[in-house]
A and B are shown apart, each in its own frame.
Chain A
Amino acid sequence: MNLGERFPQGVVRDERPGYSGWIVDSSLLPNVAQTLRREEGFDYLSSVTGVDYLPEDLFETVYHVYRTGGGPGEIIKVRTPRGRPVLPSLTSIYPGAEFQEREIWDLFGIQFDGHPDLRRILLWEGFSGHPLRKDWREPMYEEETKPFGARWPEGRRNGPPDRAFTRPADALAPGGWEADDDRALYAALENEAGGRPEALQTEFLMVNLGPQHPSTHGVFRVAALLDGETVVNLKPVMGYLHRCHEKIGERNTFPGNIPFTDRLDYLTSLSNNFGYVLAVETLMGIRPPERAEYLRVILAELTRIVSHLWSIGFLLNDLGAFFTPALYAIEERELVVDIFEAVTGSRMMCNFFRFGGLARDIDAGTVEAIRALVEERLPGKVDQLDAYLTGNEIVQARCAGVGILPREKALAYSAAGPVLRASGVPYDVRKAEPYSVYDRFEWDVACRGGCDVYDRYLVRMDEIRQSIRIIRQALRALPAGPVQTGKPQFQPRVPPGEAYGRVEGPKGELGFYVVSTGRPNPWRYHVRAPSFINLTGMAEMCRGGKVADVVAVLGSIDIILGETDR
C-alpha cells in the first residue's frame, strides 16, 4: 500500500540507503496508525522503538506493524527533535504499545501524550537521564565502543573517565536513600480500580507479589490490589534484572552481540541467536548455505522443545504441584541440552550461530543422537506428560476459564507466541512470514480458541509435537555441504541501513531491530522481547480472578526475566 499517496502532506518514503518504510509527521501519526489498523488490516503492532540520531539531532521512533494473516509488514517512523521530544501515544489504537512506549520514555526520554500511565518501566523513578541517548554516559564510562582501550593487555587507561563516580554516603544505608517510584505506581493502581469496594465498608489490600517471591520466575514484581481474595487491579513491575542490554549491545561489535543474545532468554539461546543473525544477514545481504539453514531449524526447534517443557513443568509448579511435573519435564530437557552441549560445547549459552552460517559443523554421531531423541524418546515422553497432566481434574479446574484474554484483546495487546495462539489467532512468524527454510516443511500452527491458561498449556503441548515433526523432516532432508558462506570473519562489514529480523521464538515473536552506520558496532540494537510485551495484557487476564490465578497466569505467559528486563 502506498501511504504516501494516502497522506500526501506529511508522509514520505524513507529514501535513505538501506532503509525502508515511511517517515510520518508526528501530528499525523494517530491518523496513519488508525488507517493501518482499521482499513488496511495491520492488526498487529510488533515493535516500537526509538533511535537516537545524534548527528542529525533527532529522535526517530520506529513502528513495525504486521497483518496476522501473514505477509510483509509496514514500517513507519516518526521524527521528533532531541530538544523537546513529544509524540502522540498510540495506546488507544494499539494498546500493545503501552509498555513499549513506557520503555522508550524510560530509555530515550521521549514523552507520549495521551499515554495512560507514563512512568519509567525498566529503571527506577529518580534515575538520572535516559541511557539509550547517545550522549548519556554512565559513571564508569570508558569509551563509546568496544574494544575498550582500558582493557587492552597493557592495562593502560586512556585518559581519565568523563565523570568521577561518587556514591552518596548514605546510598546503601537503611532508610537513607529510597527509590520513590512506588507512590506513582500505587496511585495508578488505585485510580484505575476506581474507588473502594461497596459492600460492608471493606477496604482493598495492597500486596506486592515479588520481587522476592517463589513463583515470579525471578525478580519480577506484581503490585496487586486485592478485595479479599479477588484481584481488583494489578500492575507488573519489572527491571530488577535490567542491565541496559541494548546500550551494551550498541557498544559491542556485531559478532560480539551473538553471545550477548544468549543472555536474553537464557533457556532459548539458539533462538535468540537466530533472530539477531537474521537481522544482520539481512543488512549484509547474505544467506547461509543449505546445510546451515537446516541445522538452524533443527536447533531452533530443539530450543522450542526445551523452553516449552520448562514452561509446562513450572506452570504446574506455580499451580502448586510439588516439583514432580517440573522434574519430569526437566529430565527430557536435560537430554536436549546434552545435545546442545555436543553440538555447541555449551549447555545453555550456546553462542553457535554466525553471520552466514554456523560456528561449526555437526558430526554424524550427533545427528544420530538427535534422530534417536526425536524419533524414539521424546514423542513417548510428551505423551506421558500429556497423559499425566492434561486430563487431571485439578489442572483443569485451575486452568480452564482462568486468565481469559479474548482474541481481540490478545491482538490489541500485541501478545505473541502461545499466548496469542491460545486466543484463537493462528499467527506464527514461521508461517506468516517464513524465514530460513521453514516453508519447506509440513507442519501445523498450534492454535486453540479457549483464550485461557489451559489452552496456553495445550498450545505448548501441541507445539512440542509440531517441533518434533519439523525436526524429523529436517533430519531426513539434511543436505551435506559447508555450514558457512565464505571464510569466517572476526569483523564482518555490515553496510549502513536498518533491518528487523524476527523469528518465532518459543515465547513468541522475537525481533531484533538493528541499525548500522557501516561501523563495526551497531548504531542501534533493539530487542523486541516477547516476555516483556506479553506482560502488557497481564492485568487484563488477572482482573476479577483470584490471587492464586495471578501466579497461574504468570506461569502461562511464561516469562524469562533475562529477556523481560534486558
Chain B
Amino acid sequence: MGDLFTTVSNWLNGILAEAGIPPEAAEWIFAVGRAFLLGVSGLLLVVFLIWFERKVVARMQDRIGPNRVGPYGLFQTLADMLKLVLKEDMVPPQADKILFHLAPVLAVIGVVGLWAVIPLAATAYGVDLNVGVLYLAATGTLGTLGILMAGWSSRNKFALLGAFRTVAQLVSYSVPAMLAMLVPVMLSGTMSLAGIVAAQDGFWFGVAAPLAALVFLIASLAEVARAPFELLEAESEIVAGFHVEYSGIRFGMFFAAEFLHAFTIGALLAVLFLGGWRGPGAAEFPTLGALYFAAKSFAGYFLLVWVRATLPRIRIDQMLDFCWKVLTPAMIVLIGALVLVNRALAGTSMWVRNGALLGVNVLVAAGVISLLSRSQSQSHAGAHGRAPGKGAQPCALAGMGDEAEAAS
C-alpha cells in the first residue's frame, strides 16, 4: 500500500468493525478522532514552533538561543507553558467579563479551525470542503474577532488602541488576501484546497503567479499581525496592545494562536502556491507528500521568522496606505489580466499558458514598482538622496550656516 495514512485508517476501520460497532457510530468515532488528532497536533506543534522561532532568531542575531531545558533546549517551551499555567489568573474587575473570557477562546478556534481543511497529504486531511477557500477566509476572521473583543473588553487604553488598530489593519488586509487567494482558485477552477493542490500537477501556481503569492504572503503577514505588521501588539508603542490585560495561560492562548497562525500561513502558502504535498514521488507515496508539505510549510514559516528578525515595524498610516493604495489595486489589475490571458489561452499547452501568466505577473509587478518608486521620490523627497555612501560628506564647520538654512 505504501501509504501510512491509508494503512492506519484501514487498520482502525478494521478494529472498529471487528469490535462490532455499527457503521454510523464508527463513522462518528472516526470523525471525532480525526478532528481531535488534527487539533491537538496543531496545538502541540506550537510547542515546537516557538522553539524553532527562538532558535532561528537567535542564530540570526548571533546568539545561541534556548539550550538549557532538554536537548537543544527543545523543552524550553514546555517549561514556559508550565509557568504560564501556574501563574495567577487575573481578570481585571473593570473588564467586560463575557467578552474578556471569550476572546482567547475565539482566537484559538479561529486558527485551529483553519486546519480542518488543509490537505496535509494526498490522503490526509480533515475534510475536503468544496468551498475550502471561502472557509479559510471566514474562519480566519474569527481570530480577528477574538482580538477585537480582547482589546475592547479589557477597558484599557493600550488595549483599546490595539483593538482600533485591529479594526483598521486586520480588516483591511483581508481584502488583498482574499484577492490573492482568488488567483489559485481561478487557475485551478475549484475552491477545494485538495483540488487546488491537485491542479498544481505540472506547474506550481507560485511559479505561474509569483506576484499573487507575494501579495498573499504580505497580506497574510498583516493578518497574522507579525512583524513588520504587528501593530496590534506593538511592544515598543502600546506595550502589548490588545492583550495587555491578559496574564498567565490566557495570554498564553493568544500567544499560541499567533504562532500557530503564522505557521498556518506557511502551510497555506504551500497549499495555494507551492503545490502542497506535491513533489517527486508524492503521488505514489502519500506519506512522502506529507513530508514535502511539512518542508514547504516550514520554509514558509522560516520566511516569516526571517522577516521578523530583520525588519522594523511600519506605522499604521503607512500600513493602510500600502494595503489600499498598492496591494489592492495591484491585485485587481492582476486578476483582470490573469483571467483574460488564462481564458484566451485555454486550449494551448501548459508551458505557453503558464509562461504567459508569469509574463503578466512580471509586467504588473514592474508597473507597481515603477509607480511606487516615482510616488516615493515625490512624497518624501530626499530620504534616498540623503542616504550616505561610504564617503559621507559631513559639512565642515565654516560656512555651514547658509546651507543649513536653505536645507531646512
A–B contact with Cβ pairs below 8 Å: the answer is: yes
Stretch binding the partner chain, chosen from A56-64, A145-153, A155-163, A424-432: A424-432
Task: Name 4 extra pairs, CB < 8 A, besides A320-B230, A394-B313, A448-B394.
Answer: A214-B235, A386-B388, A400-B382, A547-B161
Q: Which residue of A lies closest to B160 (CB)?
A: A205
B346 contacts A by Cβ under 8 Å: no
B 82-110 to A, binary, CB cutoff 8 A, 1 in contact else 0: 00000000000000000000000000000
Report if A462-B394 is in contact (Cβ < 8 Å); known contacts: A214-B236, A321-B310, A400-B383. Answer: yes
Neighbouring A residues of B63 by C-beta, 8 Å: 327
B182 contacts A by Cβ under 8 Å: no
A426 touches B384 (CB 8 A): no
Q: List 28 A-B contacts (CB under 8 A).
A: A213-B239, A215-B237, A316-B312, A319-B236, A320-B228, A390-B387, A394-B228, A394-B314, A396-B387, A398-B313, A401-B383, A423-B408, A424-B400, A424-B408, A426-B401, A445-B394, A446-B394, A448-B394, A449-B403, A449-B406, A458-B388, A462-B388, A546-B316, A547-B161, A548-B231, A548-B237, A548-B316, A550-B237
A 245-279 to B, binary, CB cutoff 8 A, 1 in contact else 0: 00000000000000000000000000000000000
Query: Smallest CB–CB gap between A423 and chain B, Å?
Result: 7
Q: Which residue of A lies closest to B396 (CB)?
A: A444
B312 touches A319 (CB 8 A): yes
Query: Smallest CB–CB gap between A324 and chain B, Å?
Result: 5
A392 touches B312 (CB 8 A): yes
Query: Smallest CB–CB gap between A271 and chain B, Å?
Result: 20
Lowest 8 CB-CB distances: which A-B pairs, in order?
A320-B313, A449-B407, A424-B404, A400-B383, A215-B236, A319-B312, A446-B394, A321-B312
A186 contacts B by Cβ under 8 Å: no
Query: Smallest CB–CB gap between A410 and chain B, Å?
Result: 9
CA separation between A260 and B164, bound complex, in Å? Answer: 47
A321 touches B408 (CB 8 A): no
B236 touches A207 (CB 8 A): no
Neighbouring A residues of B308 by C-beta, 8 Å: 322
Neighbouring B residues of A458 by C-beta, 8 Å: 386-388, 392
CA separation between A214 and B239, bound complex, in Å? Answer: 6
Report if A322-B234 is in contact (Cβ < 8 Å); known contacts: A445-B397, A446-B394. Answer: no
A447 touches B404 (CB 8 A): yes
Counting chain B residues whose Cβ lies within 8 A of the other chain, the interface size class is 35 or more
Report if A215-B387 is in contact (Cβ < 8 Å); known contacts: A426-B400, A447-B394. Answer: no
CA separation between A557 and B388, bound complex, in Å? Answer: 20
CA separation between A407 and B406, bound complex, in Å? Answer: 10
Neighbouring A residues of B405 by C-beta, 8 Å: 407, 424
Q: Which of B289-318 touch A at CB < 8 Å?
A: 308-318
Query: Smallest CB–CB gap between A109 and chain B, Å?
Result: 35
A466 contacts B by Cβ under 8 Å: yes
CA separation between A399 and B234, bound complex, in Å? Answer: 17
Q: Which of A510-555 touch B at CB < 8 Å?
A: 546-551
Neighbouring B residues of A72 by C-beta, 8 Å: none
A454 contacts B by Cβ under 8 Å: yes
Neighbouring A residues of B221 by C-beta, 8 Å: none
Stretch binding the partner chain, chosen from B54-62, B328-336, B353-361: B54-62
A426 touches B318 (CB 8 A): no
A391 contacts B by Cβ under 8 Å: yes
Report if A398-B315 is in contact (Cβ < 8 Å); known contacts: A320-B236, A447-B404, A451-B408. Answer: yes
* Highest count of chain B CB atoms <10 Å: which of A207, A322, A451, A465: A322
CA separation between A431 and B401, bound complex, in Å? Answer: 15
CA separation between A398 and B164, bound complex, in Å? Answer: 21
Q: Which residue of B lies closest to A383 (CB)?
A: B390
Q: Which of B36-68 touch A at CB < 8 Å?
A: 57, 60-63
A 70-83 to B, binary, CB cutoff 8 A, 1 in contact else 0: 10000000000000
A323 contacts B by Cβ under 8 Å: yes
CA separation between A128 and B310, bound complex, in Å? Answer: 50
A317 contacts B by Cβ under 8 Å: yes
Query: Smallest CB–CB gap between B321 and chain A, Å?
Result: 10
A328 contacts B by Cβ under 8 Å: yes
Q: Which residue of A lies closest to B235 (CB)?
A: A214
Neighbouring B residues of A505 by C-beta, 8 Å: none
B238 contacts A by Cβ under 8 Å: yes
B388 touches A327 (CB 8 A): no
A551 touches B309 (CB 8 A): no
Q: Which residue of B lies closest to A423 (CB)?
A: B408
Report if A448-B386 is in contact (Cβ < 8 Å); known contacts: A322-B57, A322-B227. Answer: yes
B395 touches A391 (CB 8 A): no
CA separation between A448 and B237, bound complex, in Å? Answer: 28
Q: Which of A286-307 touch B at CB < 8 Å?
A: none
B157 contacts A by Cβ under 8 Å: yes
Contact of B309 among A229, A322, A423, A548 (CB under 8 A): A322
Query: Smallest CB–CB gap between A402 and chain B, Å?
Result: 9
Q: Which residue of B lies closest to A68 (CB)?
A: B401
Neighbouring B residues of A284 by C-beta, 8 Å: none
Q: Which residue of A lies closest to B165 (CB)?
A: A229
CA separation between A458 and B314, bound complex, in Å? Answer: 19
A450 contacts B by Cβ under 8 Å: yes
Q: Which of B315-357 touch A at CB < 8 Å?
A: 315-318
CA separation between A462 and B391, bound complex, in Å? Answer: 9
B204 contacts A by Cβ under 8 Å: no
Neighbouring B residues of A397 by C-beta, 8 Å: 314-315, 318, 380
Report if A396-B380 is in contact (Cβ < 8 Å); known contacts: A323-B61, A426-B397. Answer: yes
Q: Which residue of A lies closest to B388 (CB)?
A: A458
Counting chain A residues whose Cβ lies within 8 A of the other chain, the interface size class is 35 or more
CA separation between A465 and B237, bound complex, in Å? Answer: 31
B403 touches A324 (CB 8 A): no
A331 contacts B by Cβ under 8 Å: yes
B242 contacts A by Cβ under 8 Å: no
Query: Smallest CB–CB gap between A234 and chain B, Å?
Result: 13
Contact of B158 among A207, A317, A395 (CB under 8 A): A207
A318 contacts B by Cβ under 8 Å: yes
A106 contacts B by Cβ under 8 Å: no
B 155-185 to A, binary, CB cutoff 8 A, 1 in contact else 0: 0011011001100000000000000000000
CA separation between A15 and B408, bound complex, in Å? Answer: 43
B395 touches A444 (CB 8 A): yes
B408 touches A401 (CB 8 A): no
Neighbouring B residues of A546 by C-beta, 8 Å: 315-317
A471 contacts B by Cβ under 8 Å: no
A551 touches B237 (CB 8 A): yes
Neighbouring B residues of A482 by C-beta, 8 Å: none
Neighbouring B residues of A316 by C-beta, 8 Å: 312
A327 touches B61 (CB 8 A): yes
A21 contacts B by Cβ under 8 Å: no
A374 contacts B by Cβ under 8 Å: no
CA separation between A446 and B238, bound complex, in Å? Answer: 34
Contact of A461 among B380, B388, B407 (CB under 8 A): B388
Q: Which residue of A lies closest to B390 (CB)?
A: A383
Neighbouring B residues of A449 by C-beta, 8 Å: 403-404, 406-408
A218 contacts B by Cβ under 8 Å: no
Q: Which of A197-222 touch B at CB < 8 Å?
A: 205-207, 209, 213-215
CA separation between A428 and B396, bound complex, in Å? Answer: 11
Neighbouring A residues of B386 by C-beta, 8 Å: 400, 448, 450, 454-455, 458
Query: Smallest CB–CB gap between B297 and chain A, Å?
Result: 22
Neighbouring B residues of A466 by C-beta, 8 Å: 394
Q: Which residue of B lies closest to A393 (CB)?
A: B376
Query: Smallest CB–CB gap between B221 and chain A, Å?
Result: 13
Q: Which residue of B lies closest to A407 (CB)?
A: B408
Neighbouring B residues of A450 by C-beta, 8 Å: 382, 386, 407
A320 touches B384 (CB 8 A): no
A406 contacts B by Cβ under 8 Å: yes
B157 touches A205 (CB 8 A): yes
B313 touches A319 (CB 8 A): yes
Neighbouring A residues of B316 by C-beta, 8 Å: 229, 546, 548
Neighbouring B residues of A444 by C-beta, 8 Å: 394-396
Contact of A400 among B227, B309, B380 (CB under 8 A): B380
Q: Which residue of A lies closest to B322 (CB)?
A: A397
Neighbouring B residues of A229 by C-beta, 8 Å: 161, 164-165, 316-317
